[in-house]
Amino acid sequence: MMDGKGIPSMEASRGDRHSFLGGALSLICYSRVVSREERCQMKTWKISSQIRMIWKRKMMRRKQRSGRITRRRERSTQRKDLTDIYLLRSYIHLRYVDVSENHLTDLSPLNYLTHLLWLKADGNNLRSAQLNELPYLQVASFAYNQITDTEGISHPRLGSLDLKGNRIRRVTGLDPQKLLSLHTLELRGNQLESTLGINLPKLKNLYLAQNMLKKVEGLENLSNLTTLHLRDNQIETLSGFSKEMASLQYLNLRGNMVTHLEELAKLRDLPKLRALVLLDNPCTDEADYRQEALVQIAHLERLDKDFYEEEERADADEIRQRLKETQEQEAEVEHDSELDQTSM
């Protein structure tokens, strides 16, 4: 018997109960004779369903996390219009500080953050990057302020220093005995008239583009320098490069005022120079510009945007050999004339 809900009644007759139990037993028996192949299919379906569910949950968590990160980044880049960060002096264990795009003129409260690792203070009204020595500071950026000098920067673990877009005319106060770890210095877009004062032997990357430089000087001791950007200056001569700059591999001189191809001979002593950019210099208008550069710098691999072909190398080797023979002949003639004058 069934009750009103279609469920077997507890008061069913004995015959009815036997028929109900028989049906249940028949279902159990049927489940026992399911083939192994069908069981495998059922198990596979369950496993794949579980995998899909796990994957969906993981993707949902990833989207949520990505959304949180995006919102956090947006908040960190919003203009906050701060004029004072005095309250930060109480948070002495802060390690990462970004106070960019404000109206700050003073960073002295950061002197108390002796655990600071990373500092970004771009786009403020700072006139100086001077801070007390912060023993753990590794990255510091003061780009696009009104800074006029490089004094007061003496953090022993500082590896990257960004001062681009300021009003610096001369580099002073960068002590190699204190800046023991500095490998990247960014001074692009200032008002530099000289490269003197950058005596940092550990330096690897130096960016001096968009300044007012007319020559290179005082960089002879940068034995670990691999990259040097001098684009968009007023450089006319390539004096100032020496064999002591033994690690220099990339040199960008685009947009300067180098007129004579003979100046390229002054780069011959840079043993590891592989890439040279000279676009937008008067000397690039010469018909044999590419060939002359390779004749003067035999180990050069790329000029401007193009690598040298084997055929170009062969032609340059031949020209170099002829020049060598001509020079030797001229030296012999000069020597003979001196002997003749002596005998007379």
Confidence grade of residue 320 (pLDDT, cut at 50, 70, 90): confident
Q: How high is the pLDDT of residue 53? A: 61
Which residue is listed with tokens 């960089």?
219
Query: Which tens digit of pLDDT belongs to each residue from 181-190?
Result: 999 999 999 9
For the segment 287-312, the average pLDDT, to the nearest whole number, is 94
Q: Bigger pLDDT: 25 or 87?
A: 87
Residue type, 203: L
What's the rounded Cα separation, in Å, for the pair 230 and 285? 20
Which residue is listed with tokens 């023993």?
135
Query: Which tens digit of pLDDT belongs to each residue from 159-210?
Result: 999 999 999 999 999 999 999 999 999 999 999 999 999 999 999 999 999 9
Q: What is the value of pTM for the model shown?
A: 0.74
Q: How high is the pLDDT of residue 315? A: 92
* pLDDT at position 15 over 90: no
Q: Can you read off the two tokens belonging to residue 109? A: 């409260």
* pLDDT at position 74 over 90: no
Which residue is listed with tokens 């990247």?
184
Among residues 203, 221, 102, the alpha carbon closest in space to that of 161 is found at: 203
